[in-house]
Amino acid sequence: MSEQTGRLGAPGLVTLHVWRIPRPAVPRALARMAVHPWRLRRIPGVRFAKLLGTGTGTGFGPGDADLTRWAALVAWDSPTAAAGFDTSPVGRSWARLARSCARVELRPLTSRGEWSGHRPFGEPSCGPVTGPVLALTRARLRARRAVTFWRAVPPVAAALPGAPGLLARFGVGEAPLGWQGTVTVWRDTADLVAFAYRHPEHRAAITRTAAEGWYAEELFARFAVGDVVGDLAVLGWAAEGDPESVRGHA
């Protein structure tokens, strides 16, 4: 099923799959990135899907890329449909390649903006949530604004590791340059909001985003973290974080 913009309701479930592969397998991963996006979108029950490269999250561009870690973000019609990923040709193919992996089940809380012209997480309507949350940011840079954006990134990236309540982080992108985003997991919504809107470096970056028009397209989404299965180290888990604070959270 192809990606659709007409569905305004939130998907039944969103899943994030992350794989760590051995370095000799990088060429095979790159080949999968070329042929699997179409196959992934054809899995029954898929509303929206992206295969993504990853980075450390400390910067953007080729120097930040981690060629031994790859990810897929999928919005599904239902949890039943999502359960079929592991037995799908795409899921089996990446499982054969990976030396470790993790899967995170997500429920959309808020979503603003578009991704490739789509609103993949609909218009979520959820009340307050307790427990861990995941924030996804994704943007396509305007080429003429890229240099000023890259110069603005280091202070925000440097501040993130020490942010109270941060449990995990890594970068994501559809291409090495100009298409990038971040995945962060927080202990709760209060910690996420405190960093996003009260930390001086991040608040300054938000102000500059609007003033300088860095992005041709952008999306920000927030999710309640449900079940987490697999090796949390693949998710860039903070050493001081408590893995059990999210594993199996409903």
Per residue in 97-139, pLDDT (tens digit) is 999 999 999 999 999 888 988 899 987 766 678 899 999 988 7
pLDDT of residue 210: 53
Indicate if the pLDDT at residue 18 is higher than 60.
yes
Task: Kindly state the tokens that stand for 126.
Answer: 């959820």
| Burial of 115 per CB tally in 10 Å (0-12, 13-18, 19+) | buried
Q: Return the percentage of the chain with pLDDT > 70, whole number.
A: 69
Report the C-alpha gap between 120 and 8 in whole angstroms: 9
User: Rounded distance, CA 163 to CA 186, Å?
Assistant: 10
- Mean pLDDT over the full length of the chain: 81
| Average pLDDT, integer, range 16-29 | 97
pLDDT at position 178 is: 46
The larger pLDDT score, comparing residue 234 to residue 60, is at: 234
Q: What is the pLDDT of residues 199-225, one digit of tens each?
A: 555 555 555 555 455 566 788 999 999
The confidence score (pLDDT) of residue 148 equals 59
pLDDT tens-digit profile of 134-148?
Answer: 999 887 765 555 555
Confidence label for 86 from pLDDT (cuts 50, 70 and 90): very high
Tell me the mean pLDDT in the region 178-194: 85
Task: Decide which of 152 and 135 is more confident.
Answer: 135
Taking CB atoms within 8 Å and a gap of at least 24, the contacts of 48-52 are: 48/3, 48/4, 48/11, 48/74, 48/75, 48/115, 48/118, 48/120, 48/121, 49/3, 49/73, 49/74, 49/75, 50/74, 50/115, 50/174, 52/172, 52/173, 52/174
